[in-house]
Copies of this chain bind each other. A is one copy, B any other.
Amino acid sequence: MAAQMRDLFPICRSISGDGVRETLRDIGSRIPLEIQEVASGTQVLDRTVPDEWNIRDAYISAPDGERIVDFQSSNLHVMSYSEPVRAHMTLSELRPHLFTHPERADWIPYRTSYYERAWGFCLAEEVLDTLEHVEYEVVIDSTLEPGSLTYGECFIPGDDDDVVLLTTHVCHPSLANDNLSGIALLTELAAQLVHTRHRLSYRLLFIPGTIGSLAWLAANRERLASVVAGIVVACVGDPAPLTYKRTRRGTALVDRAAAHVLESGYRDARVVDFVPWGWDERQFNSPGFDLPVGSLSRSREGEYAEYHSSADDLDLVQPEQLEETLLALGAILDVVERNRTFTNRIPHGEPQLGKRGLYPSTGGGLPDVERLAMLWLLNQSDGSKSVLDIALRAGISFDVLAGCAERLLEAELLAVSEESRL
């Protein structure tokens, strides 16, 4: 994951353009990826796909020709979707187009203007302070023309038609945690899923934020009924503890699975309620779709000082943080994969576990966790409670319970319920 992030870091991405295409090519070299192009002007729900933006160069240079602000040194220097400019102007004329970081004089902020034609430069406050009242040459060598919006889809079929939707945004330029971390995490997860057998099908979307998820939703409305769970992944590599943000429904399978995994295995992790801002979960959880899509991150948007600035660089994302997030995501998906509801086939009194080799023959001591797990499963499995429900009630890990459920199923003490996966 660290290597892929290093490869992708220099690329200037936005919500459209060749930077996204180059990024998707890199992802496509690692996992099966279908590239979708949606033409500028296409109506997607309440929005229209904008013109495509590309940029070759941009700078502000002093009368002596020195580039004071230079796109070549950092693509954050140009406000994303800046229209082309080629002019000489005084500092007073230039000033309204300059943006600095509100708190740190040495950081370059990240700004965008997707839906209103404008142009701007982002620079460190301490550089702005050196500008003098002379005439500057101002160049943004960009194009903003009909083209298309690009996103990538990786579909990994499972035994069932039920789909888990995993998405991450690919529209940010040289920002590491937001969101090369999410791109690297889903790429790695997909690479693993390709080589394992699983019940559920997985659809991973590498999409420009907002307009990308809207475009996918608009094009896939008939597919949404098969989405049984989803997670929007972003900012998964910074040092903050893991954060799971619930779906709008609040009690979907993915919400309970994430709550169980984080509570039982990640001491500092947070589970927070849905709020209608953040990343693409906003779109999936709009009231018309109301999909069971939560979000997994470390920091949430805006919660870390380096957010949307040049300080969100590769140093911020440590491999062990990415790795921990990947493990947690895998554990949550494992619960979603394996959760089932059973009915006890011998519900009158406790069945005799000892004669089936499921209980130690010498009595008098206290039962161990596997024995407790079996007793919980037998007692609660009346068709109304899933293994996950029992895990949350009993405070026993889903893993242990699911393993014991398999043994009780083999011993013909449990049967799978009709409506098994909730």
Q: What is A's interface to B at a CB cutoff of 8 Å?
A: 44-47, 79, 109-116, 118, 120, 210, 213-214, 217-218, 248, 275-277, 282-283, 285-289, 301-302, 308, 344, 346-352, 354-355, 361-367, 372, 375-376, 378-382, 394
Chain B residues within an 8 Å CB radius of A218: 349
What is the bound-complex CA distance between A48 and B234, given in angstroms?
58
What is the bound-complex CA distance between A376 and B45, given in angstroms?
19
Lowest 8 CB-CB distances: which A-B pairs, in order? Answer: A288-B347, A116-B361, A288-B348, A276-B379, A112-B363, A276-B375, A45-B349, A111-B364
Chain B residues within an 8 Å CB radius of A308: 364-365
* Interchain Cβ contacts under 8 Å between A and B, 18 examples: A46-B348, A46-B351, A46-B352, A79-B362, A109-B364, A111-B362, A111-B365, A112-B362, A112-B364, A113-B363, A115-B352, A275-B376, A283-B349, A283-B350, A286-B344, A287-B344, A287-B380, A288-B347
Chain B residues within an 8 Å CB radius of A114: 363
By the criterion CB–CB under 8 Å, are B217 and A366 in contact? Answer: no
With both chains docked as a complex, state the minimum distance between the C-beta of A86 and any C-beta of chain B, in angstroms: 22
By the criterion CB–CB under 8 Å, are B217 and A372 in contact? Answer: no
Given contacts A115-B354, A288-B348, A352-B115, contact A372 B45 (CB under 8 A): no
Chain B CB within 10 Å, residue with most, of A111, A113, A283, A362: A362
Chain B residues within an 8 Å CB radius of A285: 379
Name which residue of chain B comes closest to A354, CB basis: B115
What is the bound-complex CA distance between A301 and B286, given in angstroms?
48
Name which residue of chain B comes closest to A102, CB basis: B365
What is the bound-complex CA distance between A120 and B362, given in angstroms?
10
By the criterion CB–CB under 8 Å, are B379 and A287 in contact? Answer: yes
What is the bound-complex CA distance between A213 and B350, given in angstroms?
11
Question: What's the dominant secondary structure at chain A's contact region?
Answer: loop
Taken together, the copies of this chain in the complex come to 3
What is the bound-complex CA distance between A322 and B380, given in angstroms?
33
By the criterion CB–CB under 8 Å, are A350 and B248 in contact? Answer: no
By the criterion CB–CB under 8 Å, are B289 and A348 in contact? Answer: yes
With both chains docked as a complex, state the minimum distance between the C-beta of A311 and any C-beta of chain B, in angstroms: 14
With both chains docked as a complex, state the minimum distance between the C-beta of A310 and any C-beta of chain B, in angstroms: 13
By the criterion CB–CB under 8 Å, are A118 and B372 in contact? Answer: no
Name which residue of chain B comes closest to A110, CB basis: B364
Name which residue of chain B comes closest to A361, CB basis: B116
Chain B CB within 10 Å, residue with most, of A213, A379, A380: A379
By the criterion CB–CB under 8 Å, are B109 and A350 in contact? Answer: no
Given contacts A289-B348, A349-B217, contact A376 B276 (CB under 8 A): yes
By the criterion CB–CB under 8 Å, are B381 and A287 in contact? Answer: yes
With both chains docked as a complex, state the minimum distance between the C-beta of A283 and any C-beta of chain B, in angstroms: 5
Chain B residues within an 8 Å CB radius of A46: 346, 348-352
Q: Among the listed B286, B302, B347, B352, which residue makes an inter-chain contact with A286, where contact means beta carbons less than 8 Å apart?
A: B347
What is the bound-complex CA distance between A110 and B248, given in angstroms?
54
Chain B residues within an 8 Å CB radius of A45: 346, 348-349
Chain B residues within an 8 Å CB radius of A375: 276-277, 282
Given contacts A348-B286, A348-B288, A350-B210, contact A379 B113 (CB under 8 A): no
Name which residue of chain B comes closest to A376, CB basis: B276
What is the bound-complex CA distance between A380 and B276, given in angstroms?
9
What is the bound-complex CA distance between A350 and B285, given in angstroms?
9
Name which residue of chain B comes closest to A362, CB basis: B113
Chain B residues within an 8 Å CB radius of A112: 362-364
Chain B residues within an 8 Å CB radius of A275: 376, 394
With both chains docked as a complex, state the minimum distance between the C-beta of A389 and any C-beta of chain B, in angstroms: 14
What is the bound-complex CA distance between A375 and B348, given in angstroms?
45
Q: Beyond A45-B346, A283-B350, list 8 extra A-B contacts (CB 8 Å).
A: A112-B362, A115-B352, A276-B372, A276-B380, A277-B367, A283-B349, A288-B346, A288-B349
Chain B residues within an 8 Å CB radius of A352: 46-47, 115
